[in-house]
């Protein structure tokens, strides 16, 4: 029959393995959800860019139309300038022509800026599309890998649960109830290896009496954190 120390060590090892497996089984879906959210964010980014492009093109079309309208007006003014019947009329038309030439220059700059904006937004589409495709491929690969690993992990967990039940039966009856309460509230941290005469959970040094008790097979609890203590043989 296993000693108390051997029983606690076996139990601790099993709990640590189970805890690791459970963490992996919980981690997988979280990673999948995070990657799905990343794809959704990128898809929204693409939709936003498409809307920006639509608005930029509409604004560009409006500016182009305004520019054509102004160019037609300038042609008309130049024609009127050549047929002005008086100096006063000539000066009025020339002043209006100069003002409209300045307005045309501003419109040309604004139109050019919008053309550049359209090109700039359009250039983001292939980048975002590639990022979405890459994220989708990575999600698919990770999901396939996790689903395969999950089958193995669940099988291993089932075996460990069986081993745990068997190992728990080796505990003295007076310690079993305390052990169960601790495991229920603290999981693997219910137990702690004594390392360099200290509890490996909280690093508090053991008293001389506690060391003797552990060596004689007495169930000892850490005076600081309450963990069930054991030491390597």
Give 82-106 pLDDT, tens digit per residue: 888 889 998 998 999 999 999 999 9
Same domain, 96 and 27: yes
Same domain, 55 and 99: yes
Final residue belonging to a domain, choices 119, 139, 170 = 170
Instruction: Identify whether the C-beta of residue 213 lies closer than 8 Å to the C-beta of residue 5.
Output: no
- 3-state class of 217 per DSSP? coil
| Average pLDDT along the chain | 94
Task: List the CATH number of the domain containing 113.
Answer: 1.10.287.1490
How do residues 169-206 score in pLDDT, each as one tens digit?
A: 988 888 898 999 999 999 999 999 999 999 999 999 99
* Over residues 42-54, mean pLDDT: 97
Same domain, 73 and 39: yes
Instruction: Identify whether the C-beta of residue 142 lies closer than 8 Å to the C-beta of residue 70.
Output: no
Q: CA torsion, points 193, 176, 24, 42, in degrees to nearest 10? A: -110
Instruction: Identify whether the C-beta of residue 25 lies closer than 8 Å to the C-beta of residue 206.
Output: no
Q: How far apart are the first and last CA of the chain?
A: 15
Same domain, 55 and 115: yes
Residue 2 binned pLDDT confidence (cut-offs 50, 70, 90): low
* Inter-helix orientation angle 4-82/87-168, to 10°: 170
Query: Which residues neighbour 171 within 8 Å (Cβ) at sequence distance 6 or greater?
Result: 4, 7, 11, 179
* Inter-helix orientation angle 4-82/173-186, to 10°: 0
Number of domains in the chain: 2
Q: Residue 1 pLDDT > 80, yes or no? A: no
pLDDT of residue 4: 81
CA distance 122 to 227: 62
The predicted model scores a pTM of 0.73
């Amino acid at each position: 029959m296993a000693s108390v120390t051997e029983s606690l060590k076996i139990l601790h090892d099993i709990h640590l393995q189970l805890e690791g497996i459970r963490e992996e089984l919980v981690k997988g879906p979280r990673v999948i959800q995070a990657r799905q959210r990343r794809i959704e964010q990128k898809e929204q980014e693409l939709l936003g860019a498409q809307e920006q492009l639509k608005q930029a093109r509409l604004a560009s079309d409006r500016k182009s139309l305004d520019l054509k309208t102004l160019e037609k007006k300038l042609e008309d003014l130049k024609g009127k300038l050549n047929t002005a019947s008086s100096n006063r009329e000539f000066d009025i038309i020339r002043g209006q022509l100069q003002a409209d030439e300045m307005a045309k220059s501003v419109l040309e700059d604004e139109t050019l800026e919008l053309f550049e904006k359209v090109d700039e937004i359009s250039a983001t589409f292939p980048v975002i599309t590639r990022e979405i495709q890459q994220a989708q491929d990575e999600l698919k690969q990770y999901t396939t890998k996790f689903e395969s690993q999950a089958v193995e992990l669940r099988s291993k967990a089932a075996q460990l649960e069986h081993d745990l039940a068997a190992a728990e039966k080796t505990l003295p009856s007076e310690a079993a109830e305390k052990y169960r309460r601790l495991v229920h509230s603290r999981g693997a941290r219910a137990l702690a290896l004594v390392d360099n005469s200290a509890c490996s959970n909280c690093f508090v040094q053991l008293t001389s009496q506690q060391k003797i008790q552990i060596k004689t097979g007495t169930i000892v609890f850490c005076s600081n954190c309450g963990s069930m203590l054991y030491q390597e043989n």
